[in-house]
Amino acid sequence: MNPSRLLSTIIVKIATTKFPKFIQCFINKTYVKIFKIDMEEFEPENPCEYPTLNDLFIRHKKFIEFYEDDDIVVSPSDSEVIANGDIENNYVYQIKGKKYKIDELIPYETQIDGGYYINLYLSPSDYHRFHVPIDMEIVKATYIPGGLKPVKPSQLEKELVFPKNKRVVLRCKDKKERFFYFVAVGAMIVGKIHFNFDERLQKDYEEITTFEYDKPVKLKKGDELGRFEFGSSILLFFGPDHFKYLNQQDNVEVGDILGEIY
C-alpha cells in the first residue's frame, strides 16, 4: 500500500471509531474550532451529539436553497472555485499554471473540446455532501483507481494531481439531451466517495470499472447525489455552445448559481 493510502486508511479508522463520549466530544469540538465551522447551519448543532468524527464530517445542513429556473446550473457543494474557463484543444487547467488533457482524466472520448470547465475545491471545513447541479440523467459511471494525494490549492500548484488521483466520472445528460461530466476526485484522507444512486461505486477497484445504466437514473436539481468523507474536489465539464458561466465569486455555497445552459 502506498504511503498516501496507508495514511488515509489510518485516519479513516480513527474517524470512524466511537470513542468514550467525553473523548469524542473533545475531538469533535477541537475539529470545529480548528476549522471554524459554524454549527448553527447544521443539525444537530452540538458537536458532542455526533457519535464519531466521520458523522461530523458528513453532517446535514438544516436548509439549502436551490435556484428553481430549469436552465440554471448551481454549485453542487460548498467550495472554492480554483479554476474555470474554456476547454481549448482538449486541455484544461487544474489550477493556474498546471494544465492537462481531458483524456488523461476521463478515459474515453468526450467531445467537449471548445466547452467549459469548473474546478471546485472542498476544504475540510466545508459541508461534505454534494448535490445535483441541474436536472439530469446519469448515463454511465466510471471508477478510475489512482493515488490519494492532497488536492488543496497549494499542492495543485506544485504537481498534476487530478489525472492521477482516484476518481469517479459521471457521464450525464441535461434536459436538452446534451452530455456533460461530473467528476468526483478523491484526496488525501478521503476513504471513499459515496454515491447514493449506486452502492457499487463505493468499492475500490484495481482497474477502471464502468457501470452503464439501461434504466435511466434521473435526478432533480438539489437531490443529494453523494458525499466525501473529507475535503476533496468536484470537476464539471460542459460541451461547446451550451453553457454560460455566470458566477463572480471565489467561494460558493451549495445551491449558488454557477451558470446556465442554453
What tens digit of pLDDT does each residue of 214-225 get?
A: 988 999 999 999
Helix (H) or strand (E) holding 106: none
pTM attached to this predicted model: 0.93
For residue 231, name the pLDDT band (cuts at 50, 70, 90). low
User: Cα angle vertex 141, ends 135, 142, to 5°?
Assistant: 145
Evaluate if residue 9 carries a pLDDT over 90. Answer: no
Catalytic residue among 4, 78, 126, 233: 78
* 8 A C-beta contact, residue 183 and residue 170: yes
Grid cell at residue 216: 435511466
pLDDT for residue 194: 93
pLDDT for residue 15: 85
CATH of domain 72-261: 2.70.70
pLDDT for residue 189: 66
CA–CA dist 52, 39 (Å, integer): 16
CA distances from 199 to 58, 158, 226, 227, 260 (A): 17, 34, 10, 12, 30
Evaluate if residue 96 carries a pLDDT over 80. Answer: yes
Q: Which of 14-23, 70-79, 169-178 has the lowest mean pLDDT?
A: 14-23
DSSP assignment of 148-184 equals: ----SHHHHTTS--TTTB-EEEEEEE-TTS-EEEEEE
For residue 122, name the pLDDT band (cuts at 50, 70, 90). very high
10 Å Cβ neighbour count for 208?
A: 13
Domain boundaries, the chain: 3-61, 72-261
Sign of CA dihedral 210, 216, 221, 227: negative
Grid cell at residue 220: 432533480
- Give percent above pLDDT 70 in the chain: 95
pLDDT for residue 7: 62
Helix (H) or strand (E) holding 22: helix 21-34
pLDDT for residue 4: 55
Please say if 241 is a catalytic residue: no
Query: b/e per residue, 251-262, with b = 16+ CB within 10 A?
Result: ebbbbbbbbbbe
Please say if 232 is a catalytic residue: yes
Q: Identify which of 27-31, 123-127, 192-196 has the greatest average pLDDT.
A: 27-31
CA–CA dist 15, 3 (Å, integer): 18
CA distances from 230 to 12, 72, 189, 219, 234 (A): 9, 28, 7, 24, 13
Catalytic residue among 131, 194, 233, 256: 131
Query: b/e per residue, 78-101, with b = 16+ CB within 10 A?
Result: bbbbbbbeebeeeebbbbeeeebe
Please say if 131 is a catalytic residue: yes
CA–CA dist 186, 68 (Å, integer): 30
CA–CA dist 125, 219 (Å, integer): 27
